[in-house]
Structure 1
Amino acid sequence: MPVVNMHEAKSSLSRLVEAVASGEEDEIVIARNGKPAAKLLPIEGSRKGGVRLGLAAGKYRSISLEEFNSTDDTIAAMFDGSEVEPSR
Structure 2
Amino acid sequence: MLTVNIHEAKTQLSKLIEMAVKGEPFVIAKAGKPMVKVTAIEPPEPAAKRRIGSLKGKIKVPEDFDTMGQEEIEHMFYGDE
CA distance in 1, matches of 2:39, 2:14: 13
For structure 1, which runs of at least 5 residues remain unmatched after alignment?
47-88
1:56 corresponds to which residue?
none
Note the alpha carbon deviations across 1:19-54, whole angstroms, 9 max, x for none: 01022x1x10000010001111100248xxxxxxxx
Say which SS state the counterpart of residue 27 (structure 2) adopts: strand
Instruction: Kindly provide the amino acid, as one letter, of the partner of residue 41 in structure 2.
Output: I
Note the alpha carbon deviations across 1:43-78, whole angstroms, 9 max, x for none: 0248xxxxxxxxxxxxxxxxxxxxxxxxxxxxxxxx
RMSD: 1.4
Identity percentage of aligned residues: 50
For structure 2, which runs of at least 5 residues remain unmatched after alignment?
45-81
Instruction: Kindly provide the amino acid, as one letter, of the partner of residue 8 in structure 1.
Output: E
Q: 1:39 aligns with which of 34, 37, 40?
A: 37
TM-score by length of 2: 0.50
TM-score by length of 1: 0.47
2:27 corresponds to which residue?
29
Which of structure 1's runs of 4+ aligned residues deviate more than 6 A? none
